[in-house]
Amino acid sequence: MNINSAIEKILQKYNEYTDIVIGLAFVRDPFMGDFRELANLHNDAAFVKAFDVFMTVAHDTFRWNNYLEARTTAEQSLRLFYEQQQYPKDKLDVVVSAFVVSFFNQNIDERQYEWEDAHPDTEYPDSPADDIDNLYFARVLSVIPRKAENEAFCESIGVRYHYEQLHMCVWFAGQITNGAGEYSRDEINYSARTTYNRLLNPYSLLWIGVVMGADRAKLQSAAKEMNSKKNNAEKCGVVRKYVPFDTILGLYQKMMAAEE
């Protein structure tokens, strides 16, 4: 039996993964790519055994009805699996980071699939020059490198780094659908400018500013001043005063130019 058929046999043991649990490709691809290399699992038999152990640990964690819980339990399962297999601890943070990025991107892909199903034979619209497409901005936020100094700075101003990363990636990606429940909308929103200016969580705005590279003195001033305000709308107004969307747009364009 070759390695692919052995893995498929393992996956068949967990047939829930075909519908109510996260897609098989999400589990298979990171594990067979970077993870295998980082864990130094070059022996096929050892790799298949490790994959089976991982699926056992993760079986009930990757559910999409609660994104924050799913992201948290996914990371916990991966850390537990890594510890059980006694893999090198110096590689753990790298593996977890790569896995979480895959988690974000799976969610973002799902939102794009929803859009494509709702708009057959339609080309995805381009953004105006003074804006960013919500879906593409979600992708950018999902792959911004994890930096210890960003996490430490977020903590210093009361922002939960990982919570807000998940929150914002899911939120921006979800704007290109009609939403659900109390967050349903008649018209799809493609505009990150509109989303940014409507957000009512000041910590989300601060997080975006941190990871996009906004001036930290301004972010500190915003975090301090907003504490004197009574409600989230006023607090968000304070953050946007110090870090308006045009600042975010400029940082985004600078980032894109550097990538090119």
Which of these three, 61, 93, 120, is where a domain ends? 120
Distance CA 38, CA 8 (A): 22
Which of these three, 97, 120, 143, is where a domain ends? 120
201 and 245 part of one domain: yes
139 and 114 part of one domain: no
| pLDDT computed for residue 70 by the predictor | 66
20 and 61 part of one domain: yes
Distance CA 218, CA 66 (A): 33
130 and 116 part of one domain: no
33 and 153 part of one domain: no
Domain that holds residue 204: 124-260
Task: Name the nearest CA neighbour of 24 among 53, 59, 50.
Answer: 59
Which of these three, 120, 152, 182, is where a domain ends? 120
| pLDDT computed for residue 115 by the predictor | 92
Return per-residue pLDDT of the chain as tens, 260 residues.
Answer: 677 777 777 777 766 544 434 444 545 555 555 556 666 666 777 777 777 776 666 665 554 456 666 667 667 777 777 777 777 777 777 777 766 777 777 778 888 888 999 899 999 999 999 999 999 999 999 888 778 899 999 999 999 998 898 889 889 998 998 877 777 788 899 999 999 999 999 999 999 999 999 999 999 999 999 999 989 999 999 999 999 999 999 999 999 998 77
Tokens 């969610």, residue?
107
Distance CA 17, CA 106 (A): 14
| pLDDT computed for residue 19 by the predictor | 43
197 and 151 part of one domain: yes
130 and 258 part of one domain: yes
Structure-derived torsion over alpha carbons of residues 204, 210, 215, 220, reported in degrees to the nearest 10: 60
162 and 96 part of one domain: no
What's the number of domains the chain is made of? 2
